[in-house]
Amino acid sequence: MDQALSLWFLLGWIGGDSCNLIGSFLADQLPLQTYTAVYYVSADLVMLTLYFYYKFKKRPPRLSVPINSVLLFVMGTVCVVPLLSSAGPVAARPEVFQGRTLLSVEPGNKPFTRQEVIGFVIGSVSSVLYLLSRLPQIRTNFLRKSTEGISYSLFALVMLGNTLYGTSVLLKNPEVGQSEGSYLLHHLPWLVGSLGVLLLDTVISVQFLLYRNHAAATSTAVAEREPLLPS
């Protein structure tokens, strides 16, 4: 039986969430964004563990050891890197990064520190991984002409979460003395990641509607080919 869930979808998802966590911490994003990123990474690791468990459960049990070791290593790396960054010496005055024209700001706007620029870049990588992660799943659904085996509740809750996530960031008031343009620029990768994925998840939702009748027709055809009486 072909697999309904794309592995590249899961890997891209967990990669995006990991970069989201590190980028949110370094770029000094809202606390809610950081806490949400921690939960996302934890949930992704559970989902990835279940994927490999059901994929390899009929194989020799020795495979579970390296798989669990890799997952624990990834979890430990994601959790420890932000802590190590915060343990460094705190400068009396943050150094303003002047190298990029794109991130330069006008007087009165909040400038980017070097740490925030690094977080901004990691957050941008996160948004790209989020967007790319949906493409393999959309392709898998298209090739199978079916969404059977995939829980729509997963995508429905993700869409709801991304909607509330992006809305909460947009509704947050900028800091004192910071313009709205500067505020949006500091949060741009996270807005692109949440609202962009929302559009792609809408495409997957459309696939659920399109292929629902196809799956029902296939099931009916299979049932009609089965003999009425056992041979």
Give the predicted TM-score (pTM) of the model.
0.65
Structure tokens at 38: 């921690």
Query: What's the structural domain count of the chain?
Result: 1
Q: Quick check: is 180 in a domain? A: yes
Between residues 148 and 221, the one the model is more confident about: 148
Structural contact between residues 123 and 190, judged by C-beta atoms closer than 8 angstroms: yes
Q: State yes or no: pLDDT of 63 exceeds 70.
A: no
Other C-beta atoms closer than 10 Å to the C-beta of 49 total 15
Where is mean pLDDT largest: 14-18, 87-91, 214-218?
Answer: 14-18
pLDDT in tens, 187-211: 999 999 888 999 999 999 999 999 9
Q: Quick check: is 110 in a domain? A: yes
Q: Quick check: is 216 in a domain? A: yes
Q: Quick check: is 1 in a domain? A: no
pLDDT for 121 equals: 93
Q: Quick check: is 76 in a domain? A: yes
Q: State yes or no: pLDDT of 93 exceeds 60.
A: no
